[in-house]
Amino acid sequence: MSERDGLARSVQVRLAQHAKAIGVDPNLVLTRYAVERLLYRLTRSAHADRFVLKGALLMLAWFGDTLRPTRDADLLGFGDLSQDTLRRIFADVCSTEVEVDAITYITDTIRVEPIRFEDSYGGQRVTLIAVLGAAQLRVQVDVGIGDAVVPEPTWIDYPSLLDFPHPRLRAYSPATVVAEKLHAIVALGLRNSRMKDYFDLLALARDKRIDQKILADAIVATFKRRQTRVPDALPIGLAPAFAEDAAKKTQWSAFVTRNRLEAPALDVAVTQLRDFLSPALAAANAIPAKKP
């Protein structure tokens, strides 16, 4: 067995042990490792300043493996991020020389396609294949384009699954995460099937101390960028009509069961989020609109 094959085997064994310890699918942990090492290469490349980490991987950095499982990365990108540009950027990232970590990224497999999220906010989806020993892992990175970021992103040291150098990259603040998820709740109303947003917001409401003034500013900036009026009445997604809807209860129960999560009933969750978000919405509405 070559040194590289031996390292790959060691990495796979340790990742399998980690998956067993936290009670998740080993394939999920393998893919998370591939995404993590891709992020590390990004931070070591000339493109690090062009992207900001957001989404479920950022929540994992804050809360650890107690949160819902995820296998994909979400980034915000700046500048020209056309399909051809993103393909070149990620080819460059995949080829960045780093400490040996047993992962190889196949640049010929890079694909970029436009996507539109449920709240009508667009972006690009980058997919590629990573190789770890005999395992081929599909890596997915969703890139949002040019959104408002209030407050300014901060640099974080992203925790590594194993004892390899960790990625250091810019990331959203908790207030920005809340503002984006609240926007989805407002924009989608009863059409909203993003139960993960409700779960993530519960975690943020419980465990992150978010300044209400900063949160109000983040809400105003996010809603303005997405051309949505900040509601002055309770949005349907935080109202009893949503919490008591039979279809939503089924979606919530299925989400919690599928991901093996501990969570309150939907009506309790919505009540907790209403108590958390209503003051922030009121504060956002009290901020005078800036003249163009």
18 in helix, strand or coil? Answer: helix
Q: What is the pLDDT of residues 5-14, one digit of tens each?
A: 899 999 999 9
Banded pLDDT at 24 (limits 50, 70, 90) = confident
Token duo for residue 223:
């809603």
Residue 292 clears pLDDT 60, i.e. is over it: no
**Which domains can be identified in the chain, with CATH numbers?**
3-172 (3.10.450.620), 175-285 (no CATH)
Residue where the block lists tokens 């056309």 = 82
Mean pLDDT of the chain: 92
Q: Write the CB contacts of 57 (distance below 8 Å, at least 6 apart in sequence).
A: 35, 39, 70, 72, 73, 74, 158
pLDDT at 75: 96
Residue 57 clears pLDDT 60, i.e. is over it: yes
User: In angstroms, how far is CA 241 from the centroid of its own chain?
Assistant: 28
Cβ-based neighbour number of residue 138 at 10 Å? 13
pLDDT at 65: 74
Mean pLDDT of 47-65: 92
Q: What is the pLDDT of residues 31-41, one digit of tens each?
A: 999 999 999 99
Q: Any idea how long the chain is?
A: 292
Nearest CA among 129, 140, 220 for reference residue 182? 220
Nearest CA among 116, 154, 139, 184 for reference residue 39? 139
Banded pLDDT at 66 (limits 50, 70, 90) = low
Residue where the block lists tokens 């919505």 = 270
- Interstrand relation of 103-116 and 154-157 (parallel, antiparallel or unpaired): unpaired
Name the phi and psi angles at 149, rounded to 5: -130, 105
With a pLDDT cut of 90, the percent of the chain lying above it is 82
111 forms beta bridges with: 127
Exposure on the CB side of residue 175, measured as CA atoms within 13 A: 24
Banded pLDDT at 69 (limits 50, 70, 90) = confident
Residue where the block lists tokens 């958390």 = 276
User: In angstroms, how far is CA 188 from the centroid of its own chain?
Assistant: 19
Mean pLDDT of 186-211: 91
Residue 208 clears pLDDT 80, i.e. is over it: no
105 forms beta bridges with: 130
pLDDT at 42: 98
Q: What is the DSSP letter of 191?
A: G
Q: What is the pLDDT of residues 90-142, one digit of tens each?
A: 999 999 999 999 999 999 999 999 997 655 567 999 999 999 999 999 999 99
Nearest CA among 199, 216, 206 for reference residue 251? 199
Q: What is the pLDDT of residues 131-170, one digit of tens each?
A: 999 999 999 999 998 766 899 999 999 999 999 999 999 9
Q: What is the pLDDT of residues 272-283, one digit of tens each?
A: 999 999 999 999
